[in-house]
Amino acid sequence: DGGITQSPKYLFRKEGQNVTLSCEQNLNHDAMYWYRQDPGQGLRLIYYSQIVNDFQKGDIAEGYSVSREKKESFPLTVTSAQKNPTAFYLCASSIRAGLKGYTFGSGTRLTVV
């Protein structure tokens, strides 16, 4: 069955360390997205990519970086420059037309101690 996989589900890191969150999809979707969700809040867009080797900043890109070297993969790196990285991170994908919305991964809960 096709789907979108995020790993790991829970991640703990020390303050000042960079960490990379994995996102892989086998849905043959062109577009992929990273969102951050804080408790009691909606999703805020970090980065998105409409096509391989191209990506754009979202609303809260500072302190994050991404790459899109393969259609299936869109890893997110949380750098030490991100001032408040503890959050629930959601990866999503969609077809270009996007008529059925996003398919989300199960999320990664990052805690920085």
Stretch that binds another protein, among 11-19, 60-68, 73-81, 103-111 (CB under 8 A): 103-111
With CB under 8 A, what is the number of residues at the site for another protein?
26
Angle in degrees, CA 30, 11, 72, rounded to 5: 15
Residue 105 interacting with another protein (CB under 8 A):
yes
Residue 34 interacting with another protein (CB under 8 A):
no
Task: Return the amino acid letter for 103.
Answer: T
Residue 22 interacting with another protein (CB under 8 A):
no
Q: Give strand pairing partners of 5.
A: 24
Stretch that binds another protein, among 15-23, 63-71, 74-82, 93-101 (CB under 8 A): 93-101
On whether the CB atoms of residues 48 and 74 are closer than 8 A, the answer is no
Give me 89's structure tokens.
Answer: 């991170």
Residue 48 interacting with another protein (CB under 8 A):
yes
Question: Taking every pair of C-alpha atoms in the chain, what is the biggest distance, in angstroms?
Answer: 40
Which residues bind to another protein, rule: CB under 8 A? Answer: 31, 33, 35, 40-45, 48, 50, 56, 58-59, 90, 96, 98-107
